[in-house]
């Protein structure tokens, strides 16, 4: 997506933002991410804020509203500061989080705060006032028609566990950004979706599983359900690599395949129920 710069916004939209922030002195477009027409850090009298948004008539405008609503209910997330609907644009201001993306390689000090964040998020139920298709429905084409109950959870899940969506603060806390893809899912889903990221960062599948097992929701999940989920992730990512190619997909697909192969070879209890 070609992003618009802050200064290219209509004057009415910028003025509405500055009603909350005071005059904007500087704006820096975000280097990562592909989903927002506008994504930038602004420096203003009220301090820094991260601003993202889109045109009011964009068919995907509901995604921005959804993200803000979820973020207000999410733990380990930046605060939503304000909402602006002006000048033909829908804009949201988020707390600016000072920090860096985590190092997920073996032995990294960032793995402990990652486990803590995954644990905290796994304990939060989905806010049922928000309507969103659950993860098993999102991936219906990759699952059997009779979806096992273990894959039909109602926890609050981020579902996009890229390190670029994580920030380690100066106090060592790991926060999750960009909740646009959040949906109801099993409590262990985010932990499971982190495993291919860990493998891609240099962990063996066994090492990645050992880290995941430190999250109580994951360690309590039925092994056969996790095996099925690993296979589903692998199948889905292979499909997306073919139909929606992006530079990062090949490495992630390879990591997902390694995880699925590891679980299948592990002969987890009742795995044959899903993989005859």
For 32-41, the pLDDT digits (tens) are 655 678 999 9
Q: Does residue 245 lie within any of the structural domains?
A: yes
State whether 148 and 239 are in the same domain: yes
Q: Looking at residue 1, what is its pLDDT?
A: 53
State whether 224 and 173 are in the same domain: yes
> Of the candidates 95, 122, 140, which is a domain's last residue?
95
Could you write out the DSSP letters of every residue in the chain? Answer: -PPPPGGGS-HHHHHHHHHHH-SEEEEEE-SS-SS-SEEEEEEETTEEEEEEEEETT-TTHHHHHHHHHHHHH-SSSPPEEEEEEETTEEEEEEE---EE----STT-TTHHHHHHHHHHHHTPBP-TTS----HHHHTGGGS-SS--GGG---EEE-----GGGEEEETTS-EEE---TT-EEE-TTHHHHHHHHHHHHTT--HHHHHHHHTTSHHHHTS-HHHHHHHHHHHHHHHHHHHHHS--TTHHHHHHHHHHHHHHHHHTT-TTGGGT--
State whether 62 and 118 are in the same domain: no
State whether 212 and 129 are in the same domain: yes
CATH code (residue 86)? 3.30.200.20
State whether 165 and 81 are in the same domain: no
- Which residues of the chain have a pLDDT value below 70? 1-2, 32-35, 267-276
Range of the domain at 42: 6-95
Q: Looking at residue 270, what is its pLDDT?
A: 42
pTM here? Answer: 0.91
CATH code (residue 165)? 1.10.510.10
Q: Looking at residue 32, what is its pLDDT?
A: 64
State whether 31 and 117 are in the same domain: no
Q: Looking at residue 133, what is its pLDDT?
A: 95
> Of the candidates 95, 129, 154, which is a domain's last residue?
95
- As for how many domains the chain has, the answer is 2
For 139-186, the pLDDT digits (tens) are 999 998 889 999 999 999 999 999 999 999 999 999 999 999 999 999
Q: Does residue 115 lie within any of the structural domains?
A: yes
Q: Does residue 1 lie within any of the structural domains?
A: no
């Amino acid at each position: 997506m070609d992003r618009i710069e802050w200064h290219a916004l209509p004057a009415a939209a910028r003025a509405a933002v500055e009603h909350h922030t005071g005059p904007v002195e500087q704006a820096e477009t975000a280097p990562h991410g592909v989903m927002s027409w506008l994504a930038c850090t602004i420096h203003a009298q009220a301090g820094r804020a991260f601003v993202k948004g889109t045109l009011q008539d964009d068919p995907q405008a509901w995604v921005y509203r959804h993200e803000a609503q979820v973020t207000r209910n999410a733990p380990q997330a930046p605060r939503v500061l304000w909402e602006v609907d002006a000048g033909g644009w829908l804009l949201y201001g988020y707390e600016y989080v000072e920090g860096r993306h985590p190092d997920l390689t073996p032995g990294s000090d960032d793995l402990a705060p990652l486990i803590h964040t995954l644990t905290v998020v796994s304990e939060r139920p989905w806010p049922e006032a928000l309507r969103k298709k659950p993860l098993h429905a999102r991936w219906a084409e990759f699952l059997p028609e009779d979806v096992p109950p273990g894959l039909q959870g109602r926890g609050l899940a981020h579902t996009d566990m890229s390190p670029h969506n994580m920030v380690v603060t100066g106090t060592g806390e790991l926060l999750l950004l960009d909740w646009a893809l959040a949906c109801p899912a099993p409590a262990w889903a985010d932990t499971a979706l982190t495993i291919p990221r860990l493998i891609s960062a240099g962990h063996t599948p066994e090492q990645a599983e050992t880290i995941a097992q430190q999250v109580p929701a994951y360690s309590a999940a039925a092994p056969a359900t996790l095996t099925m989920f690993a296979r589903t992730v692998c199948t889905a990512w292979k499909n997306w690599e073919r139909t929606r190619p992006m530079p990062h997909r090949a490495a992630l697909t390879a990591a997902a395949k390694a995880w699925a192969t590891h679980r299948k070879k592990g002969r987890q209890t009742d795995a044959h129920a899903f993989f005859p």
